[in-house]
Structure 1
């Protein structure tokens, strides 16, 4: 119970951090993306940015087009820890992002202890998400794929709590899942069929559902 409470507190504080940024007097720029539009996440000049998604879902990709993670409403795109160039790509029909100069955000954090705490929890949220993926990646291929699909379905389907079989939003195509899992499309399909035979998933060309 304690762990669940800490996780909930972290999510609340992380959400407050993004609200604090958006409602602050920091200069910001609104970016409206259409499906498949790209946005550079790592600075190629002396002005690194921090990005906040307020609507829609985007994928986070390496410069070799490998899907690293995904981010939706209320997520911070803060992946400057990577040395390679990264870009975001809109997966939904529309994605709205606020862009802040990183230096302005860090100055605001330094001036306010409450925002410092909120920022810490936001970084914890990102770190836990990446650690969860790393743990799931140690499973055998079939169960790794099932774990990835389950995580994405519960994270991005707002009706997940009301469904016996959770539907993965359709912008997560099978090609996208294969990319994220680091397997070929044919390998993904083979394992999906095995999971279907075990009654763990239901799928066809347009719909993919996974059991809770």
Structure 2
């Protein structure tokens, strides 16, 4: 596991512990695969979420994949103007849900919560900025960069051949959606990357070289 990933989990653990030790209203949610959860609700009680275990996809209302979130990630998507929802990708996802107004009040009153919340927002912002930077590459390199980022983030252990397996809940259809390309375009570029010995794939497994 990379140092950055470890640091992020430590920060997330501190932030979650501080919230759970406070008097903020909260609810523990248990999702099954494909269950959905509203992230930017227009109701009178908006929330923020912290993922304890599992992985979710973050989708726009038009079903475009915006991001992914896993263990320790904060889901606080006020930086977007569109309505978003999360969908469980793994068999089980556990999430703590907190009332946003109470969290903001706690942030204003507690320096430790403020600092940890800032770190969590920075992590999310950096992730989105990295995606924007990778999106400027040509299509083949963009696809390779997206796959490598996701594989490294959710399965940081390479095999003895220096290949990282992308977890299977990241289907090819989902990767194409995330990259903003058609499934046939994705497949074409995967074949090209395979010819360059940068990926190995079949219908269920996709591995990408650890060295970039």
Give the TM-score normalised by the residue count of structure 1: 0.92
Q: Distance in 2 between matches of 1:201 and 1:139?
A: 18
State the match for 1:114 in structure 2: 112
Q: State the Cα distance separating 1:12 from its structure 2 match.
A: 3.9
Q: Distance in 2 between matches of 1:188 and 1:114?
A: 44
Contact 1:66 1:179 in 2 (8 A): yes
State the match for 1:76 in structure 2: 74
Give the TM-score normalised by the residue count of structure 2: 0.92
Cα RMSD after superposing both structures: 2.0
Question: SS in structure 2 opposite 1:138?
Answer: coil
Contact 1:153 1:160 in 2 (8 A): no
Contact 1:11 1:121 in 2 (8 A): no
Equivalent of residue 184 in structure 1, options 178, 182, 185: 182
Gapped regions of structure 2 (runs ≥ 5)? none
Equivalent of residue 97 in structure 2, options 96, 99, 109: 99
Q: State the Cα distance separating 1:135 from its structure 2 match.
A: 0.3
Q: State the Cα distance separating 1:23 from its structure 2 match.
A: 3.5
Q: State the Cα distance separating 1:7 from its structure 2 match.
A: 8.9
Deviations 1:144-183 (A, max 9, x none): 0000000000000153487610000000000000000000
The correspondence of residues 53-202 of structure 1 with structure 2, limited to 5 A, is 53-160=51-158, 164-202=162-200
Contact 2:173 2:183 in 1 (8 A): yes
State the match for 1:207 in structure 2: 205
State the match for 1:40 in structure 2: 38
Q: Cα–Cα, structure 1 residues 72 and 8, in superposed 2: closer, same or farther, change >3 Å?
A: closer
Q: Distance in 1 between matches of 2:7 and 2:129?
A: 19
State the match for 1:29 in structure 2: 27
Q: Distance in 2 between matches of 1:35 and 1:5?
A: 29
Q: Distance in 1 between matches of 2:122 and 2:159?
A: 24
Deviations 1:49-77 (A, max 9, x none): 00111010000000000000000010011
Q: Distance in 1 between matches of 2:187 and 2:3?
A: 38
Question: SS in structure 1 opposite 2:186?
Answer: helix
Gapped regions of structure 1 (runs ≥ 5)? none
Contact 1:35 1:93 in 2 (8 A): yes
Contact 2:150 2:166 in 1 (8 A): yes
Q: Distance in 2 between matches of 1:55 and 1:5?
A: 19
